Chains A and B, each alone.
Chain A
Amino acid sequence: MKNRMKELRARYDLTQNDLAVKVKVRRETIVFLEKGKYNPSLKLAYDISKVFKHKIEDVFIFDEE
């Protein structure tokens, strides 16, 4: 699963720490998500999408391969 978190975070001028505080996770989790080393739970994906004011499928792109 790919995601546009880094791009959207830059657009909203948010640091990894700011985003972590908003969605109530550790900064390391945001780092892992951006690197594609962790797939978030539905709840976390929803919270992140809500911060970016986008739909979940616009932020997290499921790669069928």
Chain B
Amino acid sequence: MKKVFLPIFILTWVLVLSGLWIVQPSNSTSSVLEYIFIGVILVLFILGGYFGYGRIKRKKQGLPEDDELSRKVAHKAAAISYYLSLFLWLVLIYIQSHVIINIKWLFSTGMIGMAIIFVISWVIINNRGIKDEK
């Protein structure tokens, strides 16, 4: 029950906040960026749904939802994406100090960028595998 509660709680919050973001009035210059962000969020949700479906399918087959390899891949992807996200925020802060950017766009870009970095890191590590021989 605990395992299910947290993802549902996070999913609900993201959906509610994304919904509020979509319905709020905006000017035409930011609407293109909004559509891009909404598109990225949708892609991330579809990916999340795909992996969620995989977990349910494995459970039905009597296989574990995750194991030592999937946990190691997730940990390594999280570590690398954290490191890369620091650089992302540095770049965003640098841009913000030279160009006037709405704070909403700055944080949105940062957070969506972090999510994209994590997904890319996960895909690369998952394809390469983890050897850790030395």
Contact = CB atoms under 8 A, between A and B. Distances in A.
Contact of A32 (B58, B64, B129, B132): B129
Contacts of A9: none
Given A17-B61, A21-B62, A21-B63, A26 B133 contact: no
Contact of B68 (A1, A29, A35): A29
29 contacts: A1-B133, A20-B63, A21-B61, A21-B63, A24-B64, A25-B63, A25-B69, A26-B58, A26-B63, A26-B64, A26-B66, A26-B67, A26-B70, A29-B68, A29-B69, A29-B70, A32-B129, A35-B129, A37-B129, A37-B130, A37-B131, A38-B69, A38-B129, A38-B130, A38-B131, A39-B130, A39-B131, A39-B132, A40-B68
Interface of A: 1, 17, 20-21, 24-29, 32, 35, 37-41, 44
